[in-house]
C-alpha cells in the first residue's frame, strides 16, 4: 500500500512539472535558490528548520534531526508546489504560474544510535528572457535567455550521541545543466549576419553539510531545542560547452538559418567555488500541543566564483519565525481538534545584488496538517504570500503566492500484527 501511494504521488508530481515563470534575477549566480530548504510542514511555519526534529519528522535541512527517528519506523515525505507570480516594473506588469515537484525524502533506523535518510530535491532554477534594443546607425537588439537548473540527491546520517545530543552528516550530489543564450540580431538589415552564443554549464559534484541538535527537557513535557548547521565550502566540478555561430533570422518566431560556426568547444573544465554557510535555530515545545521557534541562516556568496568570475552576488541571510498548535485531541474528539495549525514569517536578503541594490524577499506563511483517519498518514498544506525585489533602479518586483502540498507517511518495521 505504501509503495502504491508513493508511485501515484510521484506520477502526479511529474504531470505538474511545467512552468511559464521567468525570473530575471535567475540570470545571475546559479539561478534562483530556495533559502528556506524545508518541507511542507516547516514551510507552513515560515521555514524554521534548524532546530526541528521528531520521531515522525523528516528534516533534511539538519541531518542531526534524523537521529530522533524511531528505530522501528520507516518514514516517507514528498511534496510538490504551485506558484503564482505577478512581475512589476515602473511601466508594465506580467503574470506567470508554475507547478512542479518539490522534494522526496525517506528515513529509517539502522541501529539505536544511527538513523539514515535519502532524498532528492531541486536546488536552483534558471529561467529568464529579456531583450535590449539599441537605436544607433544600424539598429540592433540583444536577446538574453536562460534555462535549466540544478538538482540534488542527498544521503543524511544522524548519530545519537546521548539523550540530549545528536550530530549529523549529509552528503549532497549536485547535478544538472545551466544554459545561457545570447542572440545579437539586426531586424531591419539583410546584409548583416545575426549571431548566437550558447553556454551550457554541466555540474556533477559533491557538497557536505554538518548538523547538531541539543535538547533540554524540563517542567514535565516542555522541551527546549537548539540546532545548528554548517555547509562546507567546496570546489565544485563543472564542464562548459560553448557554441557560437552566425545565422540568418533566428529571432522572435523566425526560423534560424545557420551560416557558419565561429567557435565550438566541449567539455571545458570550469572551476566553481561554492561558499560556506551556517544556520542556527531554537525551538520551545510543549508536548505535542504547541511549538514556537526562530532561525537564522547566512551564506558567504561574495566568495562564489564561476571560472574566477564573481557575478552580481552578495552574502545572503535569512531570519524565520514560526510555530504550530494542535488542540487537545482524543480518540473521541472531533476531527478538527486533531489538526495541526501552523503560521510563520521570514525575511531574506537574497544573494542577488543588481546595480548596487540588494534584492530582498519576505513572506507570510500559513499551514495545516490533516491526518487521514485510521491511517498513519498526514496531508500537509502550506500557503505563502510574499514579495521579492523592487521597482527602483529599473528593477523588477515579484509578488507571489505559493501553495505547497505534502504527503507524510510512517510505517512500523519488524512488528508482527496480532489481529487482522
Section 199-208 average pLDDT:
96
- Per-residue pLDDT at 304: 95
| Between 6 and 291, residue with greater pLDDT | 291
Burial of 327 per CB tally in 10 Å (0-12, 13-18, 19+): middle
pLDDT at 1 > cutoff 90:
no
- Per-residue pLDDT at 4: 40
Confidence band of 320 (pLDDT split at 50, 70, 90): very high
Confidence band of 2 (pLDDT split at 50, 70, 90): very low
Section 219-241 average pLDDT:
94
C-alpha neighbours within 13 Å on the C-beta side of residue 400: 25
C-alpha cell at 314: 552578495
Section 116-134 average pLDDT:
90
pLDDT, tens digit (0-9, with 9 covering 90-100), for 246-282: 988 766 666 777 888 999 999 999 999 999 999 999 9
- Per-residue pLDDT at 253: 62
pLDDT at 412 > cutoff 50:
yes
pLDDT at 35 > cutoff 80:
no
Confidence band of 410 (pLDDT split at 50, 70, 90): confident
Average pLDDT, the chain: 88
Confidence band of 3 (pLDDT split at 50, 70, 90): very low
CA 58/CA 67 separation, integer angstroms: 10
Confidence band of 7 (pLDDT split at 50, 70, 90): very low
DSSP string, 255-315: PPEEEEEEEEEEEEEEEEEEPPEEEEEEEEEETTTEEEEEEEEEE-GGG-EETTB--SB--
Superfamily grouping for domain 2-412: Outer membrane protein transport protein (OMPP1/FadL/TodX) (2.40.160.60)
Q: How many CB atoms lie within 10 A of CB 74?
A: 16
CA 141/CA 105 separation, integer angstroms: 46
CA 125/CA 390 separation, integer angstroms: 20
- Per-residue pLDDT at 12: 39
| Between 131 and 77, residue with greater pLDDT | 77
- Per-residue pLDDT at 133: 85
Bridge pairing between strands 340-354 and 32-33 = unpaired
pLDDT at 173 > cutoff 80:
yes
Section 381-392 average pLDDT:
95
pLDDT at 137 > cutoff 80:
no
Confidence band of 419 (pLDDT split at 50, 70, 90): very low
pLDDT, tens digit (0-9, with 9 covering 90-100), for 323-361: 999 997 665 678 888 899 999 999 999 999 998 999 999
CA 65/CA 94 separation, integer angstroms: 41
Bridge pairing between strands 140-160 and 114-125 = antiparallel
Confidence band of 17 (pLDDT split at 50, 70, 90): very low
CA 382/CA 365 separation, integer angstroms: 7
Question: What are the boundaries of each domain within the chain?
Answer: 2-412
Task: Give the percent of the chain with pLDDT over 90.
Answer: 67
- Per-residue pLDDT at 185: 87
Section 176-194 average pLDDT:
87
Section 295-305 average pLDDT:
95
Amino acid at each position: 500500500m505504501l509503495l502504491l501511494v508513493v508511485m501515484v504521488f510521484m506520477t502526479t508530481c511529474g504531470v505538474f512539472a511545467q512552468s511559464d515563470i521567468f525570473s530575471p534575477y535567475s540570470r545571475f549566480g546559479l539561478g534562483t535558490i530556495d533559502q528556506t530548504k524545508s518541507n511542507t510542514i516547516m514551510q507552513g511555519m515560515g521555514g524554521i528548520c534548524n532546530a526541528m526534529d521528531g520521531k515522525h519528522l523528516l528534516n533534511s535541512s539538519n541531518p542531526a534531526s534524523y537521529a530522533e527517528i524511531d528505530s522501528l519506523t520507516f518514514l516517507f515525505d514528498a511534496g510538490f508546489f504551485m506558484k503564482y507570480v505577478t512581475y512589476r516594473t515602473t511601466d508594465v506588469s506580467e503574470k506567470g504560474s508554475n507547478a512542479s515537484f518539490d522534494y522526496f525524502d525517506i528515513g529509517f533506523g539502522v541501529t539505536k544510535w544511527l538513523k539514515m535518510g535519502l532524498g532528492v530535491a531541486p536546488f536552483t532554477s534558471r529561467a529568464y528572457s529579456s531583450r535590449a534594443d539599441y537605436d544607433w546607425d544600424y539598429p540592433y537588439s540583444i536577446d538574453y535567455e536562460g534555462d535549466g537548473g540544478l538538482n540534488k540527491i542527498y544521503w543524511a546520517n544522524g548519530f545519537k550521541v546521548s539523550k540530549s545530543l545528536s550530530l549529523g552528516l549529509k552528503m549532497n550530489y549536485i547535478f544538472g545543466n545551466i544554459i545561457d543564450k545570447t542572440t545579437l540580431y539586426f531586424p531591419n538589415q539583410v546584409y548583416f549576419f545575426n549571431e548566437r552564443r550558447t553556454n551550457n554549464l554541466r555540474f556533477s559534484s559533491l557538497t557536505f553539510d554538518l548538523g547538531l541538535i541539543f535538547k533540554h527537557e524540563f517542567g514535565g513535557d516542555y522541551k527546549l531545542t537548539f540546532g545548528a548547521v554548517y555547509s562546507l565550502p567546496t570546489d565544485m566540478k563543472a564542464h562548459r560547452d560553448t557554441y557560437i555561430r552566425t545565422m540568418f533570422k533566428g529571432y522572435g518566431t523566425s526560423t534560424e538559418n545557420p551560416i557558419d560556426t565561429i567557435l565550438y568547444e566541449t567539455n571545458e573544465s570550469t572551476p566553481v567555488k561554492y561558499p560556506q554557510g551556517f544556520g542556527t535555530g531554537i525551538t520551545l515545545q510543549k508536548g505535542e500541543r504547541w511549538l514556537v521557534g526562530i532561525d537564522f541562516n547566512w551564506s558567504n556568496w561574495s566568495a562564489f566564483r564561476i571560472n574566477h568570475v564573481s557575478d552580481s552576488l552578495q552574502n545572503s541571510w535569512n531570519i524565520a519565525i514560526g510555530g504550530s498548535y494542535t488542540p487537545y485531541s482524543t480518540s473521541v474528539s472531533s476531527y478538527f481538534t486533531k489538526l495541526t495549525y501552523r503560521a510563520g514569517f521570514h525575511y531574506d536578503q537574497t544573494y542577488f545584488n543588481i546595480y548596487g541594490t540588494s534584492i530582498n524577499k519576505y513572506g507570510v506563511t500559513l499551514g495545516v496538517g490533516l491526518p487521514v483517519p485510521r491511517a498513519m498518514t498526514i496531508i500537509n498544506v502550506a500557503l505563502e504570500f510574499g514579495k521579492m525585489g523592487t521597482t527602483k533602479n529599473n528593477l523588477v518586483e515579484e509578488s507571489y503566492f505559493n501553495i505547497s502540498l505534502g504527503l507524510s507517511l510512517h510505517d512500523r518495521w519488524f512488528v508482527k500484527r496480532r489481529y487482522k
